[in-house]
Structure 1
Amino acid sequence: MGILTSSATILAIESSCDETSAAVCRNGEIVSNIIATQAVHQQYGGVVPELASRAHMQNILPVVQQALQAAQCELQTVDAIAYTQAPGLIGALLVGSGFAKSLALALDKPLIAVHHMQAHVLANLIGERRPAFPFLCLTVSGGHTQIVRCDSPLQMTVIGETLDDAAGEAFDKSAKLIGLPYPGGPLIDKYAQQGKPIYKFAEPQIQGLDFSFSGLKTSILYFLQKAQKENPEFVQQELANICASVQHSIIQILIKKLMKAAKETGIKEICVAGGVSANSGLRKALQATGERFHWNTYMPAFEYCTDNAGMIAIAAYYKYLDGQFSSLDASPSARASW
């Protein structure tokens, strides 16, 4: 199918993990983006898949209604329905995909399946300031850490990725070792701003553009065990400096690989995306590195960093323009390659 008219209204649904979100994209602009979070997981120290699925079932209808209302849009006037197909928690994905398919079938509208991580990359195309193609995107979240080369909205290549844990996972697990509640990543960021990175941890030596964070976590664990054995009050007394040191270590690993990727590709349009891109330390480091190497750097607005339907909608918009629609038989997947 050839290129369609750019005049299109798309309703998008995101339900890959523990945020239920709906957004409306009109002619390539996000006009509403509603997100319902799930506080129920905090007491368990992490996302409980079954509870996430149940919460999605409760939230999805009111969230969609709010998104349509905020956009002053009638459901019947929507041109296509988009949803997150993969990757994510399979039960959570089934709720969103089932709802989207039901809407598409009932309204006789085209259906668009979106890859969650590709949508994170394209969050950089939301708003007035957008990167030129080709660009590199450091995509960092709780489940993924990748460097993606993006030659067009529909042509992306992963040129580096984590071999074990993701950066967001390293933040959250380090926070747990420190004794901070879930989700710990934002708390490390908060306390890091009050301290200095005076403690050093082992940095993984991985060739190429791939990442590894498991060794760093082990180094942090042994450091804390030794320090607390010598001084049981160490963490309480040094919380800000510990958080600053952990954050600095993770960010340095990310930035060094991004510098290597930029040098190897010659690309100076550099983006960041994913939940960890909301981290203030990473945003400052990217900006400083960009100024040093004369990059043009881009960061999504905070509401488009964490999981949200706005990024699903913008990805779906470009698929709509190219006529890339999905069948009702398409199945969600917990893991999906690009």
Structure 2
Amino acid sequence: MILAIESSCDESAVALFDPAHGLVGEWVHSQMALHEDYGGVVPDLATREHLRTIGPLLAEVGKQHNLTAVTRVVVTHGPGLAGCLAIGTSSAKALAVAQGVPLAGVNHLRGHTFSPFIALHAEAPERFDEAFAALLPHLGLIVSGGNTLLFKLDEARRITVISSTRDDAAGEALDKGAKLLGLGYPGGPRVEKLAAEGDATAFDFPRGIGKKAELDFSFSGLKTALRYQLEKMSLEEIEARKADLCASYQQAVIDALVRKAKLASRTETFRSVGLSGGVANNRTLRAAMQTMAERRHFKFLAAQPKHTGDNAGMIAFAAWVDPMVQDVAPAELAIHPSMPLAR
């Protein structure tokens, strides 16, 4: 039984994972309401909230399950906010020492990498290795507020980054667009909600880097284009056409993501395409990626909505499935706020 702790940003989360049966339980404390008035995550407030909530979450796990059954403790040790990571790793070290079990650090981005396969394991744990191998090599797209990455997962479960963003991440672009439109925080879900009522062809926003062979992403120009468009409009016109603005802006982000994923899928032979990260919860993006994958005759796997954001379930699963996750002595486990997906 693996116990995982996630505290990289604004979610305090704990999960229990049994390789023979799957996720036994997941517990999450969200800080969204705490940061809403500030228009984004405030690191000091997030750290204090983790300090306040990690202990009670672990206590709740202990009430529902026998922690003596835990044979390994794992924790997100990067990337993320330094203070937040420190709370999680300190808690994991203390728990591992108290329980007398091995300890390991997990790369948060690698948690996202493997999260689309959690559902595959849940379907038939006893046949997971065979089913997983049949889907490799795998092309994955991680889309979140801090990262936009295309990567290859090969037959040995090694990860190679294919491309990333040169400036803003896709989630960051959606949040900044929401701020320009006065929608508040968190921006992405609010843009998506209004976009459902609008016309995605009403405004012509740029789709990032234009070269056909270019695999990197760029979203800073999109945000600037929205600002220039809003400067041409009156407040009344903006309010009347806010749904169209959201739909067109969101579609520009999605088109750029899908176009680059499609281009990357042609670089070599893949057997599956995956979508993960916080923005992967966007239904329009999921549908567009699924359509692209099916047209290219790839198996499409998207992380379940509860595993798209910061969650301990994917950290527990990655600790079991990722060969890069190795046990260390508590004193040797350090935090890495800027840890890359692959070294």
Show the 5 A alignment for 1:129-208: 132-152=135-155, 154-197=157-200, 198-205=202-209, 208=214
User: Which of 69, 89, 98 does residue 97 from structure 1 map onto?
Assistant: 89
Q: Is the 8 A contact 1:24 1:68 kept in 2?
A: no
Q: Sort the Cα spacing of 1:98 and 1:239 in 2 relative to 1 into closer, same or farther, 3 A.
A: same
1:77 match: 69
2:27 counterpart SS class: strand
Distance 2:294 2:321 in 1: 31
- Assess, with a 3 A threshold, how the Cα gap between structure 1 residues 85 and 157 changes in structure 2: closer, same or farther: same
Deviations 1:308-330 (A, max 9, x none): 000000011125x7882122222
AA of the residue aligned to 2:45:
L
**CA RMSD in angstroms, aligned pairs only:** 1.7
> Offset at 1:27?
1.3
How many residue pairs were aligned?
A: 324
Contact 2:179 2:185 in 1 (8 A): yes
Q: Which residue of 1 aligns with 2:326?
A: 324
- Which one of the candidate residues 47, 54, 58 is aligned to 2:52? 58
C-alpha distance in 2 between matches for 1:247 and 1:322: 35
Distance in structure 2 (CA, Å) of the matches to 1:161 and 1:36: 30
Q: Does 1:106 align with 2:98?
A: yes
After TM superposition, give the deviation of residue 291 of structure 1 in Å: 2.6
d(CA) in 1 for partners of 2:164, 2:195: 26
Q: Deviations over 1:266-324 (max 9, x none)?
A: 214000000000011101111222232222111111100111000000011125x7882
Deviations 1:229-277 (A, max 9, x none): xx32122101111110011000000000000110112214000000000
1:152 Cα shift?
Answer: 4.8
| Residues in 2 aligned to 1:325 and 1:80: alpha-carbon distance in whole angstroms | 9
CA distance in 1 between counterparts of 2:325 and 2:180 reads 48
* Equivalent pair of 1:268/1:295 in contact (CA under 8 Å): yes
Match of 1:225 among 207, 231, 238: 231
Q: SS where residue 271 of structure 1 aligns?
A: strand
SS of residue in 2 equivalent to 1:298: strand
Aligned to 1:6: none
Normalising by structure 2, we get a TM-score of 0.90
Q: Does 1:238 align with 2:244?
A: no
Contact 2:174–2:187 (CA under 8 A) maintained in structure 1:
yes
SS in structure 1 at match of 2:197: coil
The answer to whether the Cα contact below 8 Å between 1:262 and 1:268 also exists between their aligned partners in 2 is no
Give TM-score scaled by structure 1 length: 0.92
Mapped partners of 1:67, 1:281: distance in 2: 35
Contact 2:106-2:325 at 8 Å conserved across structures: no
Equivalents in 1 of 2:215, 2:325: separation in Å? 33
Q: 1:127: how far off?
A: 1.7
Q: What is the Cα deviation at residue 195 of structure 1?
A: 1.0
How far apart, in 1, do the equivalents of 2:34 and 2:156 lie?
36
- Per the alignment, residue 31 of structure 1 pairs with 24
Which one is further off, 289-298 or 264-273? Answer: 289-298
